[in-house]
Chain A
Amino acid sequence: MLDPTANGLHSGESPLLRTIGLTKRYGDFLANDSIDIDIWPTEIHALLGENGAGKSTLVKAIYGLIQPSAGQIFWQGLPIVLAGPSEARDRGIGMVFQHFSLFDNLTVAENVALGLDGKESFKDMSARLEQVSKTYGLPLDPKREVWQLSVGERQRIEIVRALMQNPKFLILDEPTAVLTPQEADQLFIVLERLKAEGRAILYISHKLEEVKRLCDTATILRGGKKIQTCNPGLETAASLARMMVGGEIKQVKAAAGRTTTVPRLVVNDLSLAPSEAHGVRLEHISFELKGGEILGIAGVAGNGQDELFAALSGERLSKDPGTVVIEGIAAGHLSITQRRKLGAAFVPEERLGHGTAPRMRLSENALLTGHAASGMVNHGFIDTAATLKTVDRATETFDVRKAKRDPEAASLSGGNLQKFIVGREILRNPAVLVVSQPTWGVDAGAAAVIRQALLDLATAGAAVLVTSQDLDELAEIADRIAVMFHGRLSAPLATSEATREKLGLLMGGSSLEPKEAAHAVGA
């Protein structure tokens, strides 16, 4: 028979959804290359793959958002063509987007209404919204506007919106990327319940432990092709990773016996009002970072990490110079360039538009941050040879892959551009490096290169501050980890003591002390 999984479990019936030879072509680029996938009822099916493997393209085609170039989709055994998402929803396919498809200035109820077909009155819809959110334990206030809500609450809107269509098949695109471990656990309970109700779930993720724990089946994509469909419970995280990457991932190694020296970056009781309507107020942030040390800052996005970065980099100045001390010099009132001259370097989260000017060449981008301390400007004129040399050095040292010697920043892939930006800053031999989400959206190979570079920089004596939402990354490279919540920074924990549970509590805004006391009593 046609059943490509041929595991015998489902013989004699047809899958809920099947794609055969599904292909999506953008010009010469094959985003999806002849993909066969079967989704059965009462199944949580993981879709695994690196960035750019074609996961999003595949689910967009299944949800009717894009039209496949070739191949066929079968729904309950019958071939279908989906002209748009509303047709997919009519058949019982629901989707929860990775970058939420919400409207910030509309209310929760209005947002939910927009995801439905509008056949029932707004009043009936609101009543049903309340009922669904109660049934599944996803509390929501229908009258609030979305911009006032936390990321977890926003995701709840998306899930409730999808559930209100009573879908047979629900697609979730990296749902836990933005959640604390505890919030993720709550989500898993909801998903198990949906599965028990006989629904099928397609779960996109690259968190392997999570997939092993939750999913019944896993399909792995690489470079637009399907590599394998397997039972994740029978695989190890390492074997899944091998299938995703197509080879071993280089292990990051910290040099033994790294010694800490003098404090190079000190923050004293830094408080700062938000500059934007949706911003977070920084409250009494203090920490000390010595040379040779990596401090990790964990936390769910939007808890003040961006504001802290701006305050450290000098994009926002504070009235009291003593709040930020770089290399022993009060720098709170100094400009970005002045701080760079003190030996600080900064890598922001957003690569295009913040870390680089997208439509400018790499050499020009090198000059934009390098003018402060290194000789790329000669009597006010740009030394083109020197800027190109910087590009070449970063390219060689950090294995930046690009089509020509000096392309526009926007033409590089995310991982290669990030390697260039990190390289550009590290080659200046900074005393202090502040880096935000260093490997966000970067493929595993490039991520290993970047993490190794940060470790090497610390070994060479620099102080490194890493903000990341990826707890595994922080555990791998940081010496101490602090958590940011609602603009406050927790006391740093030594990485050996920073368990996922402790960090998760801090990320959710709980304090550690009472819990620990309770444990002590229990023990």
Chain B
Amino acid sequence: MMTPEGLTALEQLNELRLTDAERAQTLSIFGDMEAREAALQEIPTDGVEVMVHVMPLTNVLRDDVQKQPFTRESLLEGAPEHTDDSWQVPRLVK
């Protein structure tokens, strides 16, 4: 059962902060979902393989090929802030 302390740890782990009202609501939904999980536990799955991929594909590796997918100019277009040739990021160390 999710506890307020456990939820606080999850918030910290995921770099999020909930309001008190959101925390109460979150704990309530966790309770609802725990009932659903209990129903799932009733289904016998001993010996059943997990199914991660729904289609039968396997990874096939090829040799690396050097390409230039983007120009420097196009990459700078995606930057929140940039100089003439580089991304600018917030100063985080004094």
The yes or no verdict on A and B being binding partners is no
The residues of B with any CB-CB pair to A shorter than 8 Å are none
